[in-house]
Amino acid sequence: MPEQHPVRIGDTQVTTADSTVVLSPYDGHEVARIPACGPEQVEQAVAAARAAMADPLPPWRRAAILDAAAAAVADHRDELAQIIAEEAAKPIRTARTEAERAVLTFQSAAVEARTLTGDVVPIDGAQPGDGKLAFTLRVPRGVVAAISPFNFPLNLVAHKLAPAIAAGCAVVLKPASQTPMSAIRLHEILMDECGLPAGWINVVTGSGGTVGDPLVEHPDVAVVTFTGSPEVGWAIAAKAARKKVGLELGNNAPLIIDASGDWEAAAAKVSVAGYSHAGQSCISTQRVYVHRSVVDDFTAALVARVEALVVGDPLDEATDVSALISPGETARVKAWIDDAVRDGARLATGGEQRDRLLTPTVLTGITPTMEVSANEVFGPVVGIAAFDHLDEALALANDTRYGLQAAIFTAELDGALRAAHELDFGGVLVNEVPTFRTDQMPYGGIGDSGNTKEGPHYAVREMTHERLVVIAR
């Protein structure tokens, strides 16, 4: 039987009597065996994190660790991409891009560590402040509990660890049970090659209920940073009422293509943005509202590109789209496609299940009540609907419980400005797909998409509080 791959808590390599088996979503082979942690390991990890914070890391050391992390992740790019591809069924070229993005995440966190500062407060602008000097200091809030999803098992972990290091907070990380190996390997690299002292990051692997609950409820945890589904995220926020809780949740990202918009450019981008990692991205382009005058041209261009996507083994360099994270998810998405067709949508291409693979799908004539429109598909499916007036398209895009990112293709300044002002989302993109993200930008949503912004500059501010200092003569 293969050996259990340990996790590290403090300076201890931890294994447990029981193992959790990590399986390939593509062909079901065993990827690794990892510890099945429980409340005992959570206790140990939170204690190690608290102990680490008793000996604070000065900002220049945090910056040096983050610089080293960026360089080390770049050096290990191919190894990390291989792990991502195997455990998440993310096509290898897309997995490499994820590893490259993690480099940028560490680089921009290093900038934050070097420049994090408070403000000078104009305290003598009011008479009681006369003769006094006031300023704020950015102080680490305390131990961070980081909980990450399966779909970006490296870079979304980096988006939690890197700002925490920049902020001076120690972390207990619980990676997704389906994809823990990228996080475990990153942690090893940080400790062995980047000068991160023991206890600053601790990894506990185990299910949400067994490990997640004691972690978010632990009295010595000050911050919870969570990326995942709204159902789990809001339940965590309810359990952690006295903690700072940052939630990055789901979306059913809309894109509007106005009559003046470059529909050919849009089709080229959507053929990637709707299908990358089989649509399992929180900003996967899902609902496309196209002006009636160009809807047939856009649909034909998109279908031609989607039919050229290569579906198969994630480790094959040619593959564009591989398996969904589990057979259950494949069956769910397939059922949503079938329901949409039963309710009047037309299957323009795809919709075919081949064992664990689902062929990239384009539906036309979607309506707001269909699951593929109203909820987050998290699968390789793009739905199209035609509109006549921009008012109608803006209303359709806004008709959602989510609010992460939305986008418009238009050549009209008026259309761009209306989208910027009227699309009720955390981010609005013009002549780009809603799937666009770079790692330093403020990224986060409203409504059921969450309550915070990630990107190291913003996350560091969530993980620190501002202490006011007033000095009187």
Show contacts with ligand NAP in window 373-412 (CB under 6 A).
Answer: 376, 378, 404
Binding test (CB under 6 A) with ligand NAP, winner from 62, 101, 141, 174: 174
Out of 4, 44, 107, 148, name the contact with ligand NAP by CB under 6 A: 148
Catalytic residue among 98, 282, 329, 462: 282
Distance of CA 120 to the CA centre of its chain: 34
Cβ-in-10-Å burial (0-12, 13-18, 19+) of 274 comes to buried
Catalytic-residue membership of 169: no
Grouping H, G, I as helix, E, B as strand and the rest as coil, residue 4 is: strand
**By CB under 6 A, which span of 24-32, 58-66, 243-251, 262-270 interacts with ligand NAP?**
243-251
- Give the nearer residue to ligand NAP in terms of CB position, either 150 or 458: 150
User: Which of these is catalytic: 87, 98, 112, 248?
Assistant: 248
Q: Can residue 282 be called a binding residue for ligand NAP (CB under 6 A)? A: yes
Using only C-alpha atoms, the chain has a radius of gyration, in whole angstroms, of 23
Choice between 230 and 360, CB closer to ligand NAP: 230
Q: Which residues contact 468 (CB under 8 A, 6 or more apart)?
A: 121, 134, 135, 136
Residue 260 CA to residue 255 CA, distance in Å, equals 14
Which of 87, 98, 248, 371 touches ligand NAP (CB under 6 A)?
Answer: 248
Could you confirm whether 194 is annotated as catalytic?
Answer: no
Contact pick of 229, 260, 326, 359 for ligand NAP (by CB under 6 A): 229
Cα distances (angstroms) measured from residue 51 to each of 47, 56, 58, 373, 384: 6, 10, 16, 48, 54
Among 4, 19, 108, 177, binds ligand NAP (CB under 6 A): 177
Candidates 28-36, 129-137, 141-149, 293-301 — which segment interacts with ligand NAP by CB under 6 A? 141-149
Q: Nearest distance from residue 209's CB to ligand NAP, in Å?
A: 5
Which of 134, 232, 272, 395 touches ligand NAP (CB under 6 A)? 232
What are the residues whose beta carbons fall under 8 Å from the beta carbon of 408, sequence distance 6 or more?
255, 256, 257, 258, 261, 415, 416, 419, 423, 428, 429, 430, 431
Rounded to whole angstroms, how far apart are CA atoms 270 and 300?
13
Does 176 engage in binding with ligand NAP (CB under 6 A)? yes
- List residues bridging with 173 in a β-sheet: 146, 203
Rounded to whole angstroms, the Cα distance separating 78 from 193 reads: 17
Q: Please enumerate in sequence order all residues whose Cβ is within 8 A of that of 317, keeping only pairs 6 or more positions apart, or say none.
A: 92, 93
- Helices 413-422 & 390-398, crossing angle to 10 degrees? 30
Distance CA 85, CA 91 (A): 6
CB 215 within 8 A of CB 185: no
Q: How far is the CB of 12 from ligand NAP (least distance, A)?
A: 22
- Site map 424..463 versus ligand NAP, x via CB under 6 A: --------------------------x-------------
Measured from the CB of residue 78, what is the shortest distance to ligand NAP in angstroms? Answer: 23
Q: If binding is defined by CB under 6 A, does position 275 make contact with ligand NAP?
A: no
How many residues bind ligand NAP (CB under 6 A)? The answer is 31
Among 122, 209, 219, 328, binds ligand NAP (CB under 6 A): 209
Q: Which of 25, 153, 246, 250 binds ligand NAP (CB under 6 A)?
A: 250
Does 236 engage in binding with ligand NAP (CB under 6 A)? yes
Tell me the C-alpha distance between 452 and 465, whole Å: 15
Interface with ligand NAP, residue 149, by CB under 6 A: yes
Told to check if 207 binds ligand NAP by CB under 6 A, we report yes
User: What is d(CA 321, CA 318) in angstroms, rounded to the nearest whole number?
Assistant: 9
Phi, psi at 358, each rounded to 5°: -125, 125
Query: Which of 216, 270 has the CB closer to ligand NAP?
Result: 216
Residue type for position 49: A
Between 96 and 160, name the residue whose CB sits nearer to ligand NAP: 160
Which of 139, 159, 140, 144 has its CA nearest to residue 224? 144
- Write the interaction track for ligand NAP spanning residues 286-305; mark x where CB under 6 A is met and - where it is not: --------------------
Interface contacts to ligand NAP, rule CB under 6 A: 147-152, 156, 174, 176-178, 207-209, 212-213, 216, 227-229, 232, 236, 248-251, 282, 376, 378, 404, 450
Which residues carry out catalysis?
248, 282
